[in-house]
Amino acid sequence: MSLRSTSLIATVLASLCLGMPAHGATKNRSGAKSHAPAKDKITLVWRGDVATATGAFRNLAQAWERTGHSKIELQPFNTASGIDAVASGLADLGGSARANSGGAEDKDLTFTPVAWDGLVIVTQAANPVSNLTLRQVHDIYFGKIDNWSQVGGNPAPIDVYAVASPKDGVEYSLRSLLFGRGTQPVAAPRLYVNTHMLEKGIELNANGLGVDTLADIQGKPGLKALSIDGVAPSLENVANGSYPLFTPLFLVTNPLSSKAAETQAFIDFAGSAPGMAALRKSSVLPYADGATLVAMDKERRERILAAIEAPRTDGVAADASAAVAAAGSTAQPAAATLYTVGKGDTLSTIAKKHAVQPQQLREWNHLKSDHVQLGQSLRVSSN
């Protein structure tokens, strides 16, 4: 073999040896398959109701991924499926428009509020009615008003649509405000698996009516959100509390999950500057921006019940907070007492308020540290 041939072969072999590692690294960075474990391939699964997926968490997940974090796989369906999936380990994060109900299905889960949205009463866009009073909304759901002519509309039956799951987040939160308990039965014979299916039904029926979220109906010209007592449902009116039907949106997590650290990082991201910017882009109010809403919540609930002036046929007390607790204790006698973390609360001060030890609170809530967040629901009793 000539010296020239030998030199050429050596040069090619050297080039291959030096090039392979760099080429392999480029492949990995560009997303080619690699057998080596990589942290950036961790995927968090989010499952919950379609309203919060569309209205808040899709943009939040995209913002999270853009900052170099793990992928969020969204599986929107309904609240019950999300909570069940988080409890069983099939999902890492749940989306809900209701707080912890104190029921067995929520017992070992953590509900952390990350945003505020408006609950809106929707009809088909062609319906001539544009406003309802709180009393009228209550009486429609209670079955006392059943014709549009009774609220200034055409002489036609009011077809009430609802989500079938008894603890759907949107339905539960509205009924909690109107009746003092989220599981109140209503006069809604048309039942759907989630709010998007409900929307499709109302778009086809000029006499239809149901509840949705303000953020979720954006860009849907076939639907119309009704004013309540003359106050239009808008993000501005939710933020200042003048629109009375507002609700927190929650991320639901399981403290015993093997991905608890990653899910907590995602919750922390929701309260960061880029996270809150993503929420605002979704037409919802970041939870931290709603301190006024937290402060006025009890008064708001009392004001709604006073406006309704409806006799309580179910034995529920007038105060909504007490009503929910009473209903929960009737339905779930062994349910734990829940406490919502307020401004300035620490694990130690919460423990002192309830005559327990911080260690007990950590155990009952599966906390790995003393860190608590504003609006977080904590078990403060052992049963």
**Tokens matching residue 143:** 């079955």
- Report the DSSP beta bridge partners of residue 74: 46
What per-residue confidence (pLDDT) applies to 276?
Answer: 96
- In whole angstroms, give the CA distance from residue 96 to residue 62: 19
End-to-end CA distance of the chain: 87
Look at residue 313 and tell me whether its pLDDT is greater than 60: no
d(CA 50, CA 196): 7
Q: Are 181 and 101 in contact (CB under 8 A)?
A: no
Beta strands in 287-347 (DSSP E): 338-340
Q: What is the CATH number of domain 336-383?
A: 3.10.350.10
pLDDT tens digits, one per residue of 206-245: 999 999 999 999 999 999 999 999 999 999 999 999 999 9
Enumerate helices (H) and strands (E) in the chain, giving the number of each. Answer: 14, 14
**What is the helix (H) or strand (E) element at residue 45, kind and residue range?**
strand 43-49
Mean residue pLDDT across the chain = 82
Nearest alpha-carbon partner for 248 in 119, 350, 346:
119
What's the rounded Cα separation, in Å, for the pair 109 and 92? 11
Residue 83 clears pLDDT 60, i.e. is over it: yes
d(CA 302, CA 318): 7
**Tokens describing residue 221:** 């010209």
Band of residue 328 on the pLDDT scale cut at 50, 70, 90: very low
Residue 192's nearest CA partner among 174, 208, 173, 216 is 208
Q: What pLDDT digit, counting tens, does each position of 143-164 carry?
A: 999 999 999 999 999 999 999 8
Does 114 score more than 90 pLDDT? yes
pLDDT in tens, 70-82: 899 999 999 999 9
Mean pLDDT, to the nearest integer, of 252-266?
93
Higher pLDDT, 87 or 319: 87
Share of the chain above pLDDT 90, in %: 58
Beta strand spans in 167-245 (E): 190-192, 208-213, 223-225, 227-228
Instruction: State the Cα–Cα distance between residues 155 and 135, nearest whole angstrom.
Output: 20
Q: Who has greater pLDDT, 55 or 60? A: 60
Give the burial class of 247: count Cβ atoms within 10 A of its Cβ; 0-12 exposed, 13-18 middle, 19 or more buried. buried
With bands split at pLDDT 50, 70 and 90, how would you rate the model's confidence at 9?
A: very low
CA dist 94 and 35 (Å) reads: 30
